[in-house]
Structure 1
Amino acid sequence: MNRIAKLSVIAALSALSFGGVTFAASSAMNWPAHIDQTVRHFKGNNFNIVNVDTLKESSETRTWLKEATPKQISALHAAVHANKPLAAKLKGQNVEMNNIAGAEQAADGSLTFYLR
């Protein structure tokens, strides 16, 4: 009887850990949390510009960019416009503000802007 109880506990814990992996994979594809606030308060020159078409079709980044809501995109555009120095730097690199499809912050604090 003790073996059956142990096997049941092991099976239950295994099922929970697989559920956690599934949740982590799906949450990684979501729009970056608070990216509009990050962009609004960003200072410096450490940013990259990436064209969405250069990303692989199976890329997680491309997936969350496609799934972005109009509300998320408009909040991002408003944040870029509110950050006057950043907006000027982006315009200096010929970035049209309406073509910004998304942004994310790297671990080093730099930003990557994705353009349509």
Structure 2
Amino acid sequence: MNRVTNFTMAAIISSFAFAGASYAEDSVVMNGGPQIEKTLTTFNKAFDVKYLNDYQNQKDQPDAQDTAIPRSEDGVKNIQASIRENKRLVEKLAAKDIKVDDVVNAQQAADGSITFFIR
């Protein structure tokens, strides 16, 4: 009986490990270039804003607290273009005094909200 219990517990623990890995992979995929750009064209939910005080340095040496990997110049342009396609999002950003040209990255959370990184 003890062997059965040990095997069952090992199976349960390993299933949690696989579930966590799958969740992490989904996060990477949904924040990848094409996927986040597609999301931004229709995005109409809550968002947060994070200001990057030293954007030039941030591109070369990201802070550990900044979970979003800096995008290439083309990546930044693509994100800004996707935002511009979404007039409602442009208006919401403007209401917070945020110019689309200052957005350098976006990262979607598991709850569907997005954090915009502003230079």
TM-score when normalising by structure 1: 0.63
Highest Rg: 1 or 2? 1
Match of 2:103 among 100, 103, 111: 100
Aligned length: 86
The equivalent of 1:57 in structure 2 is: 63
What CA distance in whole angstroms lies between the structure 2 residues aligned with 1:31 and 1:77?
A: 17
Deviation at 1:60, TM superposition (A): 5.2
Deviation at 1:57, TM superposition (A): 2.5
Runs of 4+ with deviation above 6 angstroms: none
Alpha carbons of structure 1 residues 103 and 88: separation in structure 2 relative to 1, 3 Å: same
**What letter matches 1:53 in structure 2?**
N
Where in structure 1 are there 5+ consecutive unaligned residues? 1-23
The equivalent of 1:14 in structure 2 is: none
Cα-Cα RMSD:
2.8
TM-score when normalising by structure 2: 0.62
Alpha carbons of structure 1 residues 31 and 101: separation in structure 2 relative to 1, 3 Å: farther
What CA distance in whole angstroms lies between the structure 2 residues aligned with 1:83 and 1:74?
A: 15
Alpha carbons of structure 1 residues 93 and 69: separation in structure 2 relative to 1, 3 Å: same
Secondary structure of the structure 2 residue equivalent to 1:53: coil
The equivalent of 1:38 in structure 2 is: 39
The equivalent of 1:113 in structure 2 is: 116
